[in-house]
Every structure is written in C-alpha cells, then in structure tokens.
Structure 1
C-alpha cells in the first residue's frame, strides 16, 4: 500500500480530492487530502509559502507515513517540491498535476506575466480572490462541476504566491511524474520540459482541463496508482 498526500491548488481545500481519494482507497492505497493553512476550513490562519511547505511535512509526520507519494496540483507544486526534499527517505514519488515546479529562489509568479495577479493581491488585502465561473470555461468541466468549485473556493493567501522557494537541490533529482492536462496547453512549461529530459521524470498527458480532480477523477486516480506501482 502506498500513502498519497493530495494537495490542491489555489483557492481549494482537501474537499477537492473527494472522488480521487475514493478511487485510490478502492485500489488499496491510503489517501490523505490536505487543506493548506489559510484556505477552506483553515481560512483565517496566517500563511506564507513556508507555512504551506510545513503543512505538508507536518501531515506526513503526524500520520507517521512512509512510502509516500506527494501530489501537488497547480500552485501546490511549489510547496510540495520543497516538502519532498525535506521528508527524505519517506518519499516514494512526487506527482505534479498541471503544476508549477519552482527552482530555488523563484516564486509561483516567477517566469510569467503576473503583474495583474500582484495588483489583485494588493487590492484585496493580501489575498488573491477566487475565479468566477467564467474562469473555468473551456476546461472540460460541467456547469455543476464549475458551480461546485466556485462555491467551495476561498481567497488565497497572496504571500504564498510571491515568496521564493527554498531548495537545496534541483527538482531534477526527485522521482517524479508530471501530468499535463491538454486543454490547458498541450506542452509543459519550458522549465518542466527541461526536467523531463532527466532520467527521474516521466510525462503523462491527460485529455482534460486544469482541474482533473473534478473533470476526470477516475482517470486521475488511475494515473496516480500507476505512478506509485509502475506501469
């Protein structure tokens, strides 16, 4: 049995993984969806990026997990890759679901035009407001799924997006699977493409949008299972 720690991206909490977690448990794995500080039921807790890194590390230690697959979706690739470095031999693999993968000293907002995001954070007391329903168009989601995401979203702590990652080594050394969701662009970001040239990284393409835990939960659970046990 492999234990999965599942971390959703901006605005979302552990609830986003309900269907994926059910699929993993049905396959005999442990599934541990995690809400990061400042979001969902933890709204109101102060959070910077290192808080989120510690959230992931603390969950692994609190549950006494070994043989762990850390799963980071979107923004959460940033804290997850740092946590992976810190849990040492407890780590089995990292799975990045259409996620950002930072280098040392880079933030989530590094490397792409993000002035509008910084302005939004400044205008909303240090938080990035959630997307409205229009922001999820063209991502393979039903109206019901979009409504569920919008209704469950909470403002995201802005400091977690602007603060730099702290890494001792390149993520290239991590055993990793990168899930590229094709409706959000057919190719991984250039930095990820470079990592995929290494022996430790593999690419899996999924024909859906940026939120596959809602649009394709069964397929995503299968990909996670295969990443853990081998194809």
Structure 2
C-alpha cells in the first residue's frame, strides 16, 4: 500500500486536500493530509516559536506514524510552501520515503528560507517589513478573496471553493518563512516528481529550454529518477481539478511521468540550432555588451535593436547576442541596408526586469550615439520573455522610435512571476503608445499561457485603434526560427522584417 502524506502551502490546512484525498483513498491508498502547527493545528513542541523546524517536526510525526507498517511506501507531497517542511523531513527520513512530489512548488536549497520562493516582490517586502516590526514570532495575515492570485494563479478554482479557501485561511507564522531550510544532502537520493500547473506559468517545455541553456543548478532534473507531469490549471489543483490531481499522484507514485533530456544527448538545444534563413555573414563590431552588424556604405543608417528574451541563467554560454536567431535577424537587417544590433541584458531571473530594462536603455543610447547610425530612426524588436521590456517604450515612446516589433512575446506577466505591481505590463502601457507602429509575430502553436497574453494585448490594441500589424505563423512554435525551418516560417520572417523596415525608413 502507498501512503500519501499531503502537506499544504501558505495559509492553508488539511481541508484543501479533501476531494483529492477521497479519490486517493478510493483507489486503495492510505492518505494523511497534514495541518501544520499554527495553521489550525496546536503547537506540538515545547518551544513557543513556530518556525520551519516546527513544521518539519509536524511532517516527521506523520511519517513515523504512517510508516509503522513496513509494507507501506511513503510518498510525500508538498504544495507551494509545503515543499520546504517536506524536504526537511525527508532529509531526516530518506530511507523511509519512496518519492517526493513537488506540487507546483520550487526547488528549495540548503540554507535558503522559504521567503525567497514567494513570487510577488511586493509581498516579499511586506514579509520583511513585518518581521522588522514584530520579529520572527509575528504573523502574516492571510489574503482576502481577491488577493489569492498574488500568491499563485486561481485559474479553474470554483467561486465556492475560493470562498471556502478564504474563510478557512489562517495567518502564516513569519518564522516559517524566515528560517533557512537545513539539508544534509540525504534527500538528494530520493526519487522526485514535479507536477507543473501550466496555468500558473510553468511547463515541461520551459524547463527543457532552461536545461538547454546549460544551467548547472538544473542538471539534476535530468536524472532518470526525476519525472514530471503537467496539469492545465492554476496554482491550486486540489481545488480546481482534484480527480486529475489524484490520478497524477498515483502515476507519480508508480514512477511514471515525463523525463527531461540532458544537454547534448541528441541534437543541439533549440536556441543553438541554425537560423532558418541563409543570410550574408556581414562583419560584427563589438562594443561592450552591444554588437553592431553594419551595412555597406558610409552614410548614417537606421538601426534595428534586437532584444532577447528570458530569463536566461547567468552562466549561459554562448550568451544570447551570439545565438543563431539573434545573429540571423541582425545580419538579415544589415543585408537590407540598416544597422542590425544585438545585445546582452541581465534578465537572469524574473526579479531582474528592472536591471534588464536599464541595460536595454543603455544599449539604445550607445547605438544612437554611433555616428554610423541615424539617431532619429531606430526600431526595437523584442522576443519571448523580453516582450515585457517593451512596456517602457510603449508607455512613453520617444520621437526617434519609429517602430516596436515583438516575436512570440510575453505581453503580460505570467502568474508566478510576481510582477503584478510592476511597470512591466505592455497591455496597460499600450494606452500611452499613441500612433507608434507595432509589428507582432504570432505563432499558432504557442503555449496557452503566453498566447493568452498576446490576445489580451491585441484586444486592447483594437479598443484603442492602435497601429498593429500581425504576422501569423499558424504552424510555428515558440523559437520557430530554429525549430520550424519551413517555407511558412521563412515567409513570416521576411514579412515581419519588411514591415519593420518600411516603418523605419518611411
């Protein structure tokens, strides 16, 4: 018999698991839903402080009780914050645990407090401020009904379930968020499964792309003992799709799931495959973090600045300005008589948009100051997650900015990015774009979460009668320039470039 120990996240207790637990029990499993100390359960220790160690002790007590029968295989499931006490307990009972399931949860590391995993930057600041005022014995009030989405997407959660979640929510002891997790390393030997809720902004495909970037911190995810599932829902699948979640947990316990491919096992990762067009190998001039691809001739020429997406891990090599797609676009632009520009910016994490925006602004100033560039004719072209960086330029377009282009862009922050209160909202910034021409390349096989941000942007543009041209690639995927080298894809690149240059040189 499999014994599932279900550990909830912030502000919640065992009640969130009721529907999922019932289905697991019906399938023959032994189920233990945990309510952590201070979140509905009385303190079981002698100390007065409720911190992460207190919650680890809660999980250890359930492990010891559930594992009394030798034939039981224990599967620990940690949702959201719950993965922290799960890992802490599993590290001390590694020989008793058959599998750990990260349910829309991160990868906590030794010495790092759970506060780091809070998605919203403003919420992290709020916790820090409360801790300074009250100390680690203080509490963080639970969200009101409309604020749950700041802690994760509520997509799919019925209204009645959201009402109940709010009514039963308890204050979160600050010490549980501030105390660092301590691991000996024993937990690394336990097989794991990640259940990704795509409505909250993460998918298996995204993880595979990050693996392809060569980030050493993620290479452990390619271990054959690590599997993944996706659920097309928001951050609370136990409330939005309990039957589907129960099925996934049973399959995870059986060792099923998708396995990520290590770097270099077959062909190069998507971002390092050849560009779909055969473009002239024009010379490159490197100026700091900016590369210029110069057309023939001496007169000042208009420029197109290509802004890569992300986040891209800091140690990625080659850096984005040397990726075939960016180089291909820049050379193609230069072959048509304008200066093509690539750059590296420091969008290494979703918390880095401020400094990435500053890097882009600095690069644009560098380009406009070059005597070979017509400083009054510049276009900016954003890709993927770099699309959020377009917000600054839409909100206050300078007169020399003749066009903004975006290719398979993210045009609103994804739910788990924690940018709700930031300025990086192109949909909202569009209100101030005026007559600025926009060229948007849309792929038909986009992930639903990113596609939704594009449709929101286009709906806003229609309402504002904005000057937007859409170039469609019906059969294209995100990064179609290297993944889908078809005639349809080539024509889309030609069409987008023609449209941008027409506006740039008008």
Q: Secondary structure at the match of 2:227?
A: strand
Q: SS in structure 2 opposite 1:130?
A: coil
1:51 aligns with 2:46: no
TM-score (norm 2): 0.43
Is 1:119 matched up with 2:129?
Answer: yes
Once the two structures are overlaid, the 10-residue window that deviates more, 193-202 or 160-169, is 193-202
Map of 1:208 onto structure 2: 233
Task: Quote how far apart the aligned CAs of 1:171 are.
Answer: 5.2
The answer on whether the counterparts of 2:90 and 2:187 sit within 8 Å (CA) in structure 1 is no
The alpha-carbon deviation at position 196 of structure 1 amounts to: 1.9
2: CA distance, partners of 1:182 / 1:53: 28
Contact 2:94 2:187 in 1 (8 A): no
Q: Which residue of 2 aligns with 1:186?
A: 202
- The corresponding residue for 2:163 is 147
Q: Confirm or deny that 1:169 pairs with 2:185.
A: yes
**Is 1:60 matched with 2:59?**
no
How far apart, in 1, do the equivalents of 2:158 and 2:43 lie? 27
Equivalent residue of 1:69, what SS? strand
The answer to whether the 8 Å contact 2:131/2:138 transfers is yes
Preserved CA contact (<8 Å) 1:127 1:158:
yes
Report the aligned-residue RMSD.
Answer: 2.4
| Correspondence for 2:404 | none
Rg: which structure is higher?
2
Aligned residue pair count = 231
Within 2, Cα distance between the matches of 1:108 and 1:194? 22
**Is 1:172–1:195's contact at 8 Å kept on the other side of the alignment?**
no
Q: Structure 1 42/214 Cα, relative in aligned 2: closer, same or farther at 3 Å?
A: farther
Structure 2 distance, partners of 1:31, 1:61, is: 14
Q: 2:284 maps to which residue? A: none
Q: Deviations over 1:177-214 (max 9, x none)?
A: 01111111124787985442223211211111111111
2:78 to 64, 72, 77: 72
Q: Could you say which residue in structure 1 is the equivalent of 2:249? A: 224
Match of 2:91 in 1: 85
Find the counterpart in structure 1 of residue 143 from structure 2.
Answer: 131
Stretches of structure 1 that go unaligned for 5 or more consecutive residues are none
Give 1:122 shift.
Answer: 4.9
Once structures 1 and 2 are overlaid, which stretch shifts more, 110-119 or 195-204? Answer: 110-119
Contact preservation (8 Å) 1:35, 1:42:
no
Deviation at 1:170, TM superposition (A): 7.2
Q: Which has the higher contact order (CA 8 A, sep 6+)?
A: 1
* Equivalent position of 1:98 in the other structure: 104
Distance 1:77 1:128 in 2: 19
Cα deviation code 1:45-94 (max 9, x no counterpart): 74110111111111111342541000100001011011112113211100
- TM-score (ref. length: structure 1): 0.90
Unaligned runs of 5+ in 2: 257-506
Change (3 A) 1:21 1:8: same
Structure 1 CA distance for aligned equivalents of residues 51 and 114 of structure 2: 12
